[in-house]
Structure 1
Amino acid sequence: MTKEVREAFAIRRKMVVLEYARLAGSVTEACREFEVPRSSFYFWKKSFDAEGRSGLVRKRPVARHHPRQLHPEVVEKILHLRRTYHLGPQRIAWYLERYHGIQVSCSSVYRTLVRNDMRRLPKKVGRRAIHTRRYAKQVPGHHIQVDVKFLSIKAADGTRARRFQYTAIDDATRIRALRIYRRHNQQNAMEFINYVIEKFPFRIHTVRTDRGHEFQAQFHWHVEDKGDQTCLYQAAFTRAQR
């Protein structure tokens, strides 16, 4: 049984109870016959007298004046931004705060869209592709990215040995230097930086790392000491900037 059918049966039952009470001339007898509380009967009768048959439709209880309820003008702005520009909840909240000085949480915007059947965008509205943002510098040596790659090398006897490839790449010229070590520690990282400074044909300004365990305190102070001679210091980069 669908929701609409159940609602139709409920309205019909209420109408039968009200009609029975009118014909019998006794509310008590009608309530006893249909096992309906008197409070419910009078509530139905009041709604029926005020709105007719539509007053018997079961309404979801909602607070009339919630202290944190959005103002109708704010709701209209949210719906306008969604309908016209197809913005999401976060961008709508940002737009209202930026251009209208209205602070609304993303969750409030989302609930407003759901309440007004605007949760989903039209099917013909496509999503814009997110292009990769290239990270590059124009001056050689300004940014050197250093990272470590794990290698699995097959020996002559058929066994596999694990090695660690330290790589440094200049963002401007894409010149790179690499060395392979047996261990993955700060001592090898410091030795590799010395090798990079020696081999690169330009002055190095910044070394960017992911701050792994091989690029911690000892490595940091080693870079600081080298900075006295080469203007070198350490910075962090994210995975997206590699």
Structure 2
Amino acid sequence: MSHRNAPLTPTGRLRLARCVVDDGWPLRRAAERFQVSHTTAMRWANRYRQLGAAGMHDRSSRPHHSPRQTSATVEQQVLHLRREHRIGPVRLAARCGIAASTAHRILIRHHLPALSTLDRATGEPVRRYERSRPGELVHIDVKKLGRISDGGGHKVLGRAAGRAHQDRRNGTGYAYLHTALDDHTRLAYTEDLPDEKAATCAGFLTRAAAWFTARGVTIERVITDNAWAYSKNTWRTTCHDLGISPRWTRPWRPQTNGKVERFHRTLLEEWAYQRPYTSDSERQAAFPDWLDWYNYHRPHTGIGGHPPASRITNLSEQHS
């Protein structure tokens, strides 16, 4: 493909070549007419004589012979180590005695995907899915987050001073961030609660269902991990009363609940750790605005750069 500043496209090259070969134009006249050098005009005219119109397209710059190409034995060693240990180019290079760039080219040549796209447990490509309508499946999880002592933590005072300050106050405990996230829209509802007991989780589900209902989403199924609170009758009864079918992830497979796990990572990066806070109340005061930004304004790469609310009919238009 020609670059954007190229004076000649394949069509322009063909016109130039036909002027010279078929119409008998002098090379210099053709070069001036198409605003290229005499050498360039001669190249395309000669290629037209040899190959016709098919010769006007770009050729690969790959050499016909590569005497210093990595041997097949080393390539097989790189591929074996990658499949066996699932390590990247830098570690492969150290084991095989080659440059990291060489290891990377070998992986690319054999169409091996990046490690970030693979399942860590099996080494297989991650199978991504998305439910077809809002409410069909809602992911629920809890993120445990250390609270900030009044006066600030280590990000404000420094690590040593922050630890001493917290010790003097006998610690400040943890915030339990309960989140319900819709699989199709990525719309999220989060509460800061004092624990993750069965009654607390059940109460959160009741309020989350009401919140989604107010936005035109009826929860049909919820999926959680196998934590103690989600295996009790309290949780099952609450789901039954709300007309929700409970589901659980496979043991030791957090990827099944990956959407809410990824939301919690975003939450930490863009709100909890986004700037130094001088108290837990200051951080909590900033949360409603951030969650509003996430749901109604923040572009989400998983749904084509649109905010989650855009996937619910007219919801984004009702919010300012």
State the TM bucket, normalised to the shorter chain. 0.3 to 0.5
Higher relative contact order (CA 8 A, sep 6+): 2
- Structure of greater Rg: 1
Superposition TM-score, scaled by structure 1 size: 0.44
Q: Which has the higher strand share?
A: 1
